[in-house]
Every structure is written in structure tokens, then in C-alpha cells.
Amino acid sequence: MKIIIYSQNLVSMDGVGNSSLYFKNIIEKFLNVELIAHHSNIEGVKSFHDYLKIHDPKNILLYHYSIFDINIKSLLELNFRKRIIYYHGITSPKFFPKGSELYNNCKQGLADINLLDGFDLYISNSSESKLQFLENLNKKNIENLHIIMPPTKLFKRKEEKLNIKKKSSNLDFYYCGTLSKHKNVYSLLEIFNKWNKNHLRLSVFTSFTKDDTLVYLGENKYIEFQDKGIRFFHRLNDLEMSKLKTSMDCFITFSMHEGFCIPLFNSIENLSPTISYPLKCLEDYFPVDYKFLDKNDSLENIQEKYYSNLEKIRKTKNFIKDKCLSYTETGTKLIFKTIDF
């Protein structure tokens, strides 16, 4: 018997890939685990095509689902002793150009949720993702089998020294992520471009190449943003990005939809405040008095919210840490109970 952790795409520097590895590390202390994917750049991951040749019905499936999966029907036709699914949430197709590959993949990914009935345990990264899953499955009788659990281990570093900055100090904001439409990065860039405050700076870490960024922004805008002091970093690895972020003060995102948003939690872990809209996915984890963005916030308002969140950052971190720990402990126990370990 093996635990089969499957995701269509299992790649490094990716939330779903890192989550699959996280669950592997939890389970392999007790049971044999094998990583399976349609596509992967991680050593030791077996292709789904090769797995089909050696499948054993005694195996247990842990399925990471986050977008349309080309193998979903073939996977679900296999007999497993138990089946568990981790749902990462799917971005609404409305945020992508109609007919584009991402539009079609997200639309089909949501439609295929109706195939995912009959699992022994359902896990989501937030109540927002859970609700999205249940609405598309259209079966409420599984709700008692559906739990919330963070997609990766958080708050694992030693306690950081808190650096309280005076309000007259320079502040370095940063964003990391894709430049997809729902991330609303253009609006973030424009507000820093418009106000052009010398003591407020923005750095953008993106998985887009420079060429892709030029297509997204336009070459003239890219140069204009750079002239205003906005820095762009393209496809840095985790270590390179971590080194640069250590001197920065606040993670900021104008994103309109997230399933979990790991960079936001990592910022809190380092005792750095975050600025974001009150995303539904954060309601399970954040205290109610945390300061979030309003649509009409100016850069001055954002600065004030930064300082307000900074004043209570330790309290916020402990609150979120306890929430994550509670969900993780409950989820881990239910996973092992489900697989009869």
C-alpha cells in the first residue's frame, strides 16, 4: 500500500507543488508515499502515464486539485482503497480574456468539480474555496466531510526582531506573484506612479519574464514605472527573492481573488505587516480588527494602515499562528483517521 499524491502539474516554486511536497513530508514519516503528476520538473516524481502501468487498488489517493486536469477521468476510473482531495480554489474565468487558455482551463476546472463526488475526505485551504467547491459539486451532504487546512507549513522560522519605523522613515513595499488580471497589479503600479513619494518605494517580484511583462504593461509604461523608482525582478528563485525581501517592510497586493495567498502569510511570519483587500480567503485566519484596503485608499491611507498593522503585528502573528496550528492539527488527524492509520 502507498499514499499516492497526485497533481496534474507538480513543479517547483509553485503553490500546488510546494503543498504536495508538504503533505508528502507529513505522511512519509509513517507510510510509503509516491508523487505522481502529468507534468513535473521535480526529481523523483513519476509520470501519471507510467503510474497507470503499476497501479494497485490498495493504494490511497491524495489528489491536489487546482485547475482543469487532463487526466481527471482516467484518475477517477481507478480503484483506490481511500480517496482524499485537497482543493486549492480556482480563479473565476471572468478575470481572464474570454477564450484564452486560462479562461478555458478555469472554466472547465470548475465544471469538472461535479465529477469529484464520493471522496472519503475533502480539504480546502479556506472557507471561500470550500464554498466554491460545494456550489460546483452541488451536493451539500458532504459538508461534514469537508474541512479547512493550510496548504503548507507556516510559522516555522525563529522569532524575528521587530523593527518599528518612525513615520518619517522610508518604507519599502513589495509585491510577489503573477501579473494575471485578477492580481490587479497595474492598479498597484499606478498608485505608486501617481503619488511618486520619495520615501515610499515599490518592488515587484514576478514569475513573468521581462518580455511577458513588457507585453502586459507596454514598453513605455514599463520604462515610466522604472523611472519613478519601481523595481522589477523577474523569475528569481526563492533564495534570491528572500535575500532581497529581508530589507523590505510590507507585502502589498491589490489582488481581487486568492485561494490562500502564501506570500501574505510569509510576510506576517517575518513580522512585516501586509496590505490587501479583505479577501474572503483570509476570514478564517485573520483577526477582525486588522486593517485592510478600501477601494478609494490613497497612498497616504495605505501608509497609515501599514503603521496601524505594525503596532499590533506580534498579536496578529500569534492569532494567525494559533489558527493555522489548530486547522493543521485537526486536518492531519482526520487524514490519518481516513486512511485507517
Q: For 77-121, write each residue's pLDDT tens digit.
A: 999 999 999 999 999 999 988 999 999 999 999 999 999 999 999
3-152 and 171-321: identical CATH topology: yes
Q: What is the full DSSP assignment across 305-318? A: HHHHHHHTHHHHHH
Q: Which CATH class is domain 3-152?
A: alpha beta
CA distance 37 to 3: 14
Which of these, 104, 118, 105, lies nearest to 76 by C-alpha position? 118
Q: What pLDDT score was predicted for residue 195?
A: 74
Q: How far is CA 251 from CA 206, 324, 337, in A?
A: 13, 20, 38
Domain ranges within the chain, ordered by starting residue? 3-152, 171-321
Q: pLDDT tens across 251-303, in order?
A: 999 999 998 999 999 999 999 999 999 999 999 999 999 999 998 999 889 99
* pTM of the complete model: 0.90
Architecture of domain 171-321: 3-Layer(aba) Sandwich (3.40)
- Biggest alpha carbon–alpha carbon distance for the chain: 65
